[in-house]
Amino acid sequence: MEFKPLSGRLSPRFAAVKTFFRLPHVPIEENYDVGIFGIPSDLGVSYRPGARFAPTQVREFSSLGRGFHWSRGVNIFEKLKAADIGDCPVTPLSIDQTMKQIEDYVSQLLKLKKKFLAVGGDHSNTLPILRALKKHYGQPLAFIHFDAHLDTYPAAWGCEYHHGAFARHAVEEGLVDPTQMLQIGLRGPLAAPEDLDFAKKHKITAITVDDVRAGHLNDFVKKLPVFKSTPTYISYDIDCLDPAYAPGTGTPVPGGLTTYETQKILQNLKIPNLVGADLVEICPAYDPSNITALAGVDFMFEALSLMALN
């Protein structure tokens, strides 16, 4: 089997059943390197639901994707055998059951020695992914977290698990190594000064939009931390972007990054061992122009090119 996108010259990009990047849709056990899958679950949100529809929309707009990374000079789909492996099982009425299903699904993938790219869904989906990764690799992960929010908040309405608490659990459960953890895109009003205590206490590297823009972007990216061979994971919450660039999300925050800035950051990160990544919090119903999904596809392209370089 050839794991190549259906060519736009063979079949126009608006045609054909929609899969991620027009890649073959195959069973999980197939012989690919990187499995791309959806997690159509938004049960952890505190404001707007609807990210369950993101995998469908991202599949559609990833049709516009191509494979050659201009500035890196790498042709992703020559280097990587990538495939659409469908959607992870979820239970629309139970976040607990869904989190278990995600962990099992990712564990299965890891057992098959796959790398992966997941398309949520809300940010609560990242926690069970990290649990599976930790279990598989036997060590806390290096973790790069694009977000407007800290996501280190306490339980809400008596519920431990929600999209604003995943990062806290990831640290507290030892899934990620906070000294190798980077949060980028942070900004905006907080509930209280205590919000920052968690990051400080755990020595997480927290980069605000102000930090990114303190000087010229090209200078900023040179100072990004260098990652070692630790298995590394990237979680990209689309709300790291300004609402102008990503209106279709659940809890948008003005004053955010531009798509260009996250491109440059991703292109300058040295990640020798990227084992997985996710794209979360795209909420299609709030973006009639679909530019949010397009920005998400752009992240996927960068993440895949990072994997292609590994």
For residues 116-155, which are near a copy of itself according to CB under 8 A? none
For residues 92-111, which are near a copy of itself according to CB under 8 A? 92-95, 97
225 in contact with a copy of itself (CB under 8 A): no
Q: Toward a copy of itself, which CB reaches closer, 142 or 234?
A: 234
What is the helix (H) or strand (E) element at residue 86, kind and residue range?
strand 82-87
Q: Toward a copy of itself, which CB reaches closer, 170 or 199?
A: 199
Residue keyed to tokens 């629309």: 92
Angle of helix 291-309 relative to helix 54-61, nearest 10 degrees, comes to 70
- Distance in Å from the first CA to the final CA of the chain: 23
Q: Partners of 307 in the beta sheet?
A: none
How far apart are the C-alpha atoms of 193 and 81, rounded to whole Å?
46
CB of 107 to a copy of itself, least distance (A): 19
64 in contact with a copy of itself (CB under 8 A): yes
Alpha-helix runs per DSSP H in 208-249: 209-212, 217-222
For residues 291-310, which are near a copy of itself according to CB under 8 A? 291, 294-295, 297-298, 301
Would you state the torsion angle of the CA atoms of residues 95, 97, 98, 99, taken in this order, to the nearest 10 degrees? 90
Cis peptide before 121 (omega within 30 of 0): yes
Q: Toward a copy of itself, which CB reaches closer, 124 or 180?
A: 124
2, 73, 138, 200: which one contacts a copy of itself (CB under 8 A)? 73
47 in contact with a copy of itself (CB under 8 A): yes
Q: Toward a copy of itself, which CB reaches closer, 24 or 231?
A: 24
Q: Pick the piece of the chain touching a copy of itself (CB under 8 A) from 90-98, 128-136, 167-175, 268-276.
A: 90-98
Q: What are phi and psi of 231, to 5 degrees?
A: -55, 130
With contacts defined by CB under 8 A, how many residues of the chain interact with a copy of itself? 101
Q: Toward a copy of itself, which CB reaches closer, 33 or 195?
A: 195
